[in-house]
A = this chain, B = another copy of it.
Amino acid sequence: MNLSSGAILVLSGPSGAGKSSLISKIIDHIGPTYFSISTTTRAIRAGETDGVHYHFVTEEEFKREIDQEMFLEYAVVHGNYYGTSLGPVKQALKEGKLVIFDIDVQGHDAVQNRLADITTSVFITTPTLAELKKRLHNRLTDSEEVIAKRIEMAKREVQRVSEYDFLVVNDDLDRAAEILVSIAKAARMKIPTLQINEFVQTWEAQA
């Protein structure tokens, strides 16, 4: 009997908490993964590549995919559509991969509603709001206006930490990465209820 199958790891947390650095640090240590790439209608920026940073589509295409129920979740943020297409996620799960999502609290909600029994979720944050502000300013990539928006969003999101399975405070990158590796490895072991029922039914019968 084969109990290995795909599982989902949701990572949320404020922009500036170090999610990307953490992901690139752990990705080689947690077995076969598929990093879910969002689909968006927002304009492509300098330095971004279609199919790497996002799948860039027109609003018309996006809306057609909504109608065809091709999204696991989607949301409108600052007038742009962002969503997660179901197709590649299903395929990766079928291949037994750990599907990693870098999505916000709303997205997490949607994933939990549909795939709770194979999902493990982690909220990643800085030790304090002051530290988050410092990091956002040090990055020098965002305007004051964008930073202010990110901070407001962070304040709202952190209120919903208890909806997550784990909270990882990224005060030290190596320590946080080590914790995340353990969580990711365990996340892979989550077995869907359906498969467990099947296991129980055949456990007695199998010679």
**A52 beta carbon closer than 8 Å to chain B:** no
Q: B166 touching A191 by the CB < 8 A rule?
A: yes
List chain B residues, Cβ under 8 A from A182.
Answer: 182, 185-186, 189
Instruction: Find A186's partner among B166, B191, B197 (CB 8 Å cutoff).
Output: B166
Contact A161-B199, Cβ < 8 Å, known A167-B3, A182-B186, A183-B186: yes
Is there contact, CB below 8 Å, between A167 and B199? yes
**Band of interface residues on A:** 35 or more
> In chain B, what residue has the closest Cβ to A195?
B167
> Is A88 in contact with chain B by the CB < 8 A criterion?
no
Q: What's the least CB distance linking A178 to chain B, in Å?
A: 9
Q: Which parts of A121-176 form the interface with B (CB within 8 Å)?
A: 125, 127-130, 155, 158-159, 161-162, 165-169
CB-contacts of A191-205 with B (<8 A): 191, 193, 196-197, 199-200, 202-205
Closest 4 CB pairs of A and B: A182-B185, A186-B186, A128-B206, A183-B186
> What 9 new A-B contacts, CB under 8 Å, besides A3-B167, A129-B204?
A1-B169, A125-B203, A127-B206, A130-B206, A155-B204, A158-B203, A166-B186, A167-B199, A185-B186
Interface, chain A (partner B; CB < 8 A): 1, 3, 125, 127-130, 155, 158-159, 161-162, 165-169, 179, 182-183, 185-187, 189-191, 193, 196-197, 199-200, 202-207
